[in-house]
Homo-oligomer: A and B are copies of this chain.
Amino acid sequence: MSEKTLSLLKTVEWKNNKVVMIDQTKLPNELVFVEYSDYIDVARAIKNLVVRGAPAIGVSGAFGLALASLQSKAATKEQLLSDLEEARKTLFETRPTAVNLAWGLDKIMQIAKEGKDVDDISFSIVKSAQEMAEDDIKINMRMGKNGSTLFDNDDTIMTHCNAGSLATVAYGTALGVIRATKESGKNIKVIATETRPVQQGSRLTAFELKHDGFDVSLIPDTAVGYTMANKLVNKVVVGADRVLRTGHVYNKIGTYQVALMAKQHGIPFYVAAPLSTFDMKSNPQDVIIEQRNGTEVTQIGDKKTAPDGINVINPAFDMTPPELISGIITEAGVAKPPFDVSIPKLFEANK
């Protein structure tokens, strides 16, 4: 296993005209890198959760199109655009509800359309995809620095799911804030929830924080109330899949109850999310929460842990209302309540 800290290891990277990824399905047991030169393999990797996490998937899609442009034998711009459109569809269909995937693909397709000829387009796509990856890291580091001021020396910080290096190109969002807090010289501990059903907390967050030398403790999702009631937690920070302009936060199932319990115990609850995660148009009633496959709850790997044919309620996300949130950390600053005032101000300032 590499001695490099995971905050510098890249979840997805462009290297010698290939896409290199950490195979997250092998974590926490093995740190394995996979290398793709065919966009179809990148699509398969996204579908099979070799790579996951909204920002990481967006960049992976862009890299997939970059590969497709190199693979294309097109002689004309029109033919190349047609090849790219075919690749875009294949890549998009792997995770159709992921906002960042569509965002990454659309951004690259726009650049392709603006290109002069085949060589110019190919060059621009590869360059832009690499810039997207670099921007992701820069944004996370700015977000981390902004968030680090909210945490104190000797804090024990709880996090839910994985909003870490492994969900982004590197450094992470919520875990980026935790990394930046440590880098600022503060002594902190972390409590990671297991995050059933897919266990990104134990498999990924515990893995990457331990790998980077953090003092991290794992708890089952049932022990959130216990650790808070017993004063083992000072603050909470989580990521987000979508943030509305009203401060309603959609994130991994279980986030809402962590926030509710934090409020009850007087523990500040923070969300870390880049501005690209904000949905400034939708209202809470517009957001549909997708249900995932029940087998995630009824078995773990091949091991069945529930009777056959049982009903399962397995929502992917839940909604945390603004009144439970102490602050939303972005690369443009920290929004504080009331969010319907502070969030639009951040966007204004970032223009």
Contact = CB atoms under 8 A, between A and B. Distances in A.
A315 interface: yes
A161 to B, nearest CB: 9
Contact of A28 (B199, B206, B218, B305): B305
A256 interface: yes
A297 B196 contact: no
Contact of A218 (B217, B298, B315): B298
Contacts of A217: 310-313
A328 interface: no
A222 B315 CA distance: 10
A216 interface: yes
30 contacts: A194-B297, A194-B306, A203-B306, A206-B307, A210-B309, A210-B310, A211-B307, A215-B311, A217-B310, A217-B311, A218-B294, A218-B306, A218-B313, A219-B297, A220-B296, A220-B297, A221-B221, A222-B253, A223-B253, A223-B318, A226-B256, A226-B313, A227-B313, A229-B319, A232-B313, A257-B261, A260-B264, A300-B300, A300-B305, A301-B303
Contact of A315 (B211, B223, B319): B223
Contacts of A199: 305
In terms of DSSP, what is the predominant structure of the interface of chain A? mixed
Given A298-B202, A306-B28, A314 B253 contact: no
A191 B319 CA distance: 20
A222 B258 CA distance: 9
Contacts of A310: 202, 206, 210, 216-218
A248 to B, nearest CB: 12
A219 B256 contact: no
B206 A222 contact: no
A319 B301 CA distance: 33
Number of copies: 2
A199 B299 CA distance: 11
Chain A interface residue bracket vs B: 35 or more
A29 B203 CA distance: 26
A318 B219 contact: no
A219 to B, nearest CB: 5
Contact of A223 (B207, B219, B254, B261): B254
A197 interface: yes
A60 interface: no
A127 to B, nearest CB: 37
A231 interface: no
